[in-house]
Homo-oligomer: A and B are copies of this chain.
């Protein structure tokens, strides 16, 4: 009944491709694209296929699960717009890039809302007819503030991804666990260099000749979640840290949008704090 993205994650063994392709063949599915990867060190098999044909998603999934008893993930996904929440603080560049892409129809996503701890970006976001929710952190301890954010998030059903578009607050473990592998962050350095606060200033102090940005899923170790995408630009001695920051913004927005696109197209597998990306 259409097109499906089939994602498989299993312990590696002989015959996996044969078993899956036999199902595709028997069900008369057309394979539009097919990618596989075997992590030999960890004996793990990953596969992403895009197929086309007359079968219901749940039935296809059933067959694959049955054929692959050692799988840890089998998903048969109908391509459709995913629901995302964007969280931001004060900066416009990464947020703006996503909003313009959304407006241009480039993103397979519905933006449910933008949540910020300031109201600074409200008038900007409102131009795009997207709900803006300010949850101020002023005079609140971290837990209380976050509880209020979680409360706002709870009003939305089916959040596929939360995109931290330069949201400058650290999330607590309970928040992160509630949305495991669903929170995509942009860190303004070439991780693992310059973890933590003001990486551009750190980069400037160190005298690096290249700066970068890293998009990653958030886990409970600061800036140490699975990396999705990275990009860099060359700098030189004439860059103040403010110049690095300004130039860095262009990399940040490109990398975050690239990571988001990969997520929306169901191209990312997470395991062992790393990503496999097809």
Contact = CB atoms under 8 A, between A and B. Distances in A.
Query: Copies per complex?
Result: 4
Main secondary structure of the interface of A (DSSP, over half): mixed
Contact of A100 (B18, B31, B96, B190): B96
Given A100-B93, A254-B250, A254-B254, A192 B206 contact: yes
A64 to B, nearest CB: 14
Contacts of A22: 18, 21-22
Nearest to A99: B100
A127 B103 CA distance: 11
B31 A17 contact: yes
B226 A207 contact: yes
B229 A232 contact: no
18 contacts: A14-B31, A18-B21, A35-B36, A41-B240, A92-B100, A93-B100, A93-B101, A96-B103, A97-B97, A127-B127, A191-B193, A191-B206, A191-B208, A206-B227, A206-B274, A208-B227, A209-B230, A236-B277
Interface of A: 14-15, 17-18, 21-22, 24-25, 28-41, 91-93, 96-97, 99-101, 103-104, 106, 124, 127-128, 190-194, 206-210, 212, 226-232, 234, 236-238, 240, 246, 249-250, 254, 257, 272-277
